[in-house]
A and B are shown apart, each in its own frame.
Chain A
Amino acid sequence: MAGYVKRSRQTNGHTASKGGTEESPFFKWLLITVALLFSILFLLLPLVNVFAQALSKGWQAYWTALSEPDAWAAIKLTLLVAAITVPLNVVFGLAAAWAIAKFDFRGKSLLNTLIDLPFSVSPVVAGLMYVLLFGLQGYFGRWLADHEIKIIFAVPGIVIATIFITFPFVARELIPVMQATRSEQEQAALTLGATGWQTFWRVTLPSVKWGLLYGIILCNARAMGEFGAVSVVSGHITGQTDTMPLRIEKLYQEYNAAAAFAIASLLALLALLTLGIKTFLEWKQERDYERAQRAAESYEDSTAPTSREPEITAVRSQP
C-alpha cells in the first residue's frame, strides 16, 4: 500500500517536471543533504561554538572581558576604522563604477583590473606594501618622520590598509547595476530640466541603491573583520592599535580563551547583524515589489468588466 502511494507520487513528480530535465529524487535529496551537512558542520557549528565558549565561564566573566579597557579600546578602534573606511570606499566605488559603466576612456580596462587587485593580493602582502611605502625604511618614511607624521604602527596605517582591502566591494557591486541602468533614463531627466547633480541623486542613485547597500554591507563586514593586512601595519600596541580581530588573536595567544571568544562573539554578532540587515533589505524589496504587483492585478480585476461591457452591447444591438 505504502509502496503504491510512493510510486504514484513519483509519477506525479514526473508529470510536473519539464520534459525529463529534472534530476531523480534520490540525486536531489543527496545534493540537499550534502549542502546542508557541510554548512552545518563548517559554518553553523563553529559559530555556535564561539558563543558557547564565550559564555563558558558565565555572563559575569563575559561582561568583564568585554568591558575591560583594552577590549573596549579595540572595539572603538574597529568601529572608527569602519566609520572612516566605508564612506570613503562608497565615494571611490561610486566614482569608479560610474567611470567604468558610463564612459569610454584610455586605461578603462586597467582601472577595471586594478579594482580587483585587493581580491587577488594576499592581505599580508597588502600590509607589507604600505610598510615598505610609509615605514621608517620605506620610500616616504624619512620624510614622514621628519614631519612627525605617523602612519605605520598607528591608526592611519590601519585605515589605509583597510581601505585597500575593502576597495572592490562597493565598485564591484555597482558596476553591473550601473551598466544596466540605461543612460537614456538620465538623458530623460536632463530633458525634463534636471541638472547633472539632480539626475544623479534622483535617477541614478535610486536605481542602483540595492547594489550600493549590498556593497556597503559587504564592505563594512570586511572592514571590521580584516586581520592580515591590519596585523602587518598595526604594530599590535595594546589599547592603541589593536582592532577587535587583533585583540582576539592576542588574547588567544595569551591562553585567555574565554576573553578571546567573548570579543570574537561580539565580532560574530556584528557580522550576523550585518547579514540580518541584508536579508531584511532583500525581503523588503521583495515585499514592495509584490505589493505593487498585487495592486496592479486588483486594478486589472476592477477595470476588466467595464472594458468588456461596450462589446457586449454592440453585439446585442447588431440584429
Chain B
Amino acid sequence: MSIELKSVSKQFGEVAAVNNVTFSVNEGELLALLGPSGGGKTTVLRMIAGLEVPTEGDIYIRGQRVNDIKVQKRNIGFVFQNYALFQNMNVFKNIAFGLKIKKWKSADIKARVRELLELLGLEGLDKRYPHQLSGGQRQRVAIARALAPKPSVLLLDEPFGAVDAKIRQELREWLVRLHHDLNVTTLFVTHDQEEAMEVSNRIVIFSRGNLEQIGTPRDVYEQPANEFVARFIGVMNVLELEVFKNVGRAGELQFPAPGYADGERIRIGFRPFSVQISSDLNQFPYQAVVRQTYFLGVMLRLELELESGLLLRSRMSKEEYANLALYDGKKVSLQIRNYRILSREHEPLGPELTAPEKSSLFVGEGI
C-alpha cells in the first residue's frame, strides 16, 4: 500500500473542504482524483503532500503515519497547476534544485539531470529560462524537477489544465507512457472526466468534499455508485417519473417501477447508447423527430424530440446514421433499452434494468 487515507477531514474555517474521506492507493498505481471544482480533490492532494494539515484523520505513506511529518521530509514530488517553476533559474537549475538541497555531489546531480532531460525529451533546453519554454515544455520541466529526488509518490495538480486542447491529448498519452516506464505511484487531480477515464488505472470521484466512488474507469462508468457519479461520468439522459400502479411515466414514456407508491416521483437515467432508433415508425413504441445532429468525429450525437416535447440525447456511429438515412427533421421511432432508477443523490443505485418493450434488437450496453 503506497498511500492510505483514514477518515480524513479538512475544515477551512467554517467550510468543510473534505469530509471523512477514506481510500488507499496501491504501489505503482496511476490514480485520478476527479470531481467538479470545489469538490475537495486538490485539498486531498495537498494534504497528502503536506501542504495542508488535515483537521481530522490520518494519512499514511508507505505504512508510515505522516500527519506530523513536514512537507520537506515526505519524499513526495509535487507538480503545481501552473508549474511554479523558479523563474530566476534555468531548466538545469530548476531540475537540480531538490538534489542540491539534499546535498548530492555535483557530478551525481549532473548525471541525474541529464538522465531526466533525456527521459522527458528536454535535451538542449537546459540553459533556457522558464519564460522561454512552451507550455508543454514547462510542464515536463516541472515533472522532471519533481521526479529528480526520486520521490516515492508523484502528485500532479490539474496537470493538463494550462495547455491547449491539442497538446493536452499528447500530454495525456505521454503521461501514461512515462508512468509505465517509471512505475512510480502517481496521483493527479482533474475536473475532466474524459481525461480521468483515459489516463488512470483507478478514479476517485469527489463532490462537495465527499468521496462518491473509487474504482476503475469501467467500474465507475458501468456501475456508478449513486446518481452523482452516474451523471458526472459520461453523458446521461435523466427523466423524472411519476409512479402510478407500478408504472413510472414521463410524457408518453413508460417504465416499470414496481414497489413504488402511487404518486411518488422517481428519477431514472440512461446512456445515449440505450436510445435505439428506427426509421420504421412502427418498429418501436415511441415517435420522435431528429432535432439536431452533432458530428463528433466517428460518432454522432443526436437530439431527439418526442411528441410530448421531451428531449433525449442519443449516440451512434456514422455508419448507423447513414444506414438509417437520418437527417434533421426526420421522423423516427425509438425505444430505451436499459435504464437505471437513480432515486436520490448519494443513495446506492438500483441495478441496470432492461426495458420490457418489444426489444428484438437488444444488444448489451456499449460504452
Tell me the interface secondary structure of chain A in the complex. Answer: helix
Asked whether any CB of chain B lies closer than 8 Å to the CB of A193, the reply is: yes
Q: A187-B80, A190-B71, A206-B88 are in contact. Are A198 and B101 (CB under 8 A)?
A: yes
Q: Are the CB atoms of A193 and B72 closer together than 8 Å? A: yes
Which of B50, B73, B80, B129 touches A188 (beta carbons < 8 Å)? B80
Smallest distance from the beta carbon of B71 to chain A beta carbons, Å? 5
Stretch at the interface among A34-42, A159-167, A273-281, A292-300: A292-300
Of all chain A residues, which has the CB nearest B142? A188
Smallest distance from the beta carbon of B25 to chain A beta carbons, Å? 18
Asked whether any CB of chain B lies closer than 8 Å to the CB of A194, the reply is: yes
Q: Are the CB atoms of B72 and A194 closer together than 8 Å? A: yes
Asked whether any CB of chain B lies closer than 8 Å to the CB of A182, the reply is: yes
Q: Kindly identify, within residues 287 to 308 of chain A, every residue whose CB is under 8 Å from any CB belonging to chain B.
A: 292-293, 295-296, 299, 302-303
Q: Which residues of A contact B71 (CB under 8 A)?
A: 190-191
Q: Which residues of A contact B125 (CB under 8 A)?
A: 299
Tell me the interface secondary structure of chain B in the complex. Answer: loop
A207-242 near B? 1/0 per residue, CB < 8 Å: 101000000000000000000000000000000000
Docked CA distance A188–B144 (Å): 13
Asked whether any CB of chain B lies closer than 8 Å to the CB of A10, the reply is: no
Q: Are the CB atoms of B132 and A192 closer together than 8 Å? A: no
Q: Kindly identify, within residues 29 to 70 of chain B, every residue whose CB is under 8 Å from any CB belonging to chain A.
A: 49-51
Q: Are the CB atoms of A192 and B101 closer together than 8 Å? A: yes
Docked CA distance A55–B80 (Å): 62
Docked CA distance A68–B80 (Å): 63
Q: A191-B76, A206-B88, A207-B87 are in contact. Are A296 and B128 (CB under 8 A)?
A: yes
B131-146 near A? 1/0 per residue, CB < 8 Å: 0100000000000011
Q: Which of B51, B89, B97, B124 neighbours the largest number of chain A CB atoms within 10 Å of its CB?
A: B97
B78-94 near A? 1/0 per residue, CB < 8 Å: 10101011111110000
Docked CA distance A136–B67 (Å): 58
Asked whether any CB of chain A lies closer than 8 Å to the CB of B102, the reply is: yes
Q: A185-B84, A207-B86 are in contact. List 14 more A-B contacts (CB 8 A).
A: A184-B82, A184-B84, A188-B86, A190-B51, A190-B71, A191-B50, A191-B77, A192-B97, A193-B73, A193-B101, A198-B101, A292-B128, A299-B128, A302-B124
For the complex of A and B, list the 6 residue pairs with the smallest distance between their C-beta atoms, beginning with the closest. Answer: A192-B98, A184-B84, A191-B78, A296-B132, A188-B84, A206-B88
Between-chain CB contacts (< 8 Å), 18 pairs? A182-B82, A184-B82, A185-B86, A185-B87, A187-B78, A189-B86, A191-B50, A191-B71, A191-B72, A191-B78, A192-B97, A192-B98, A193-B72, A193-B101, A292-B90, A292-B127, A296-B128, A303-B124
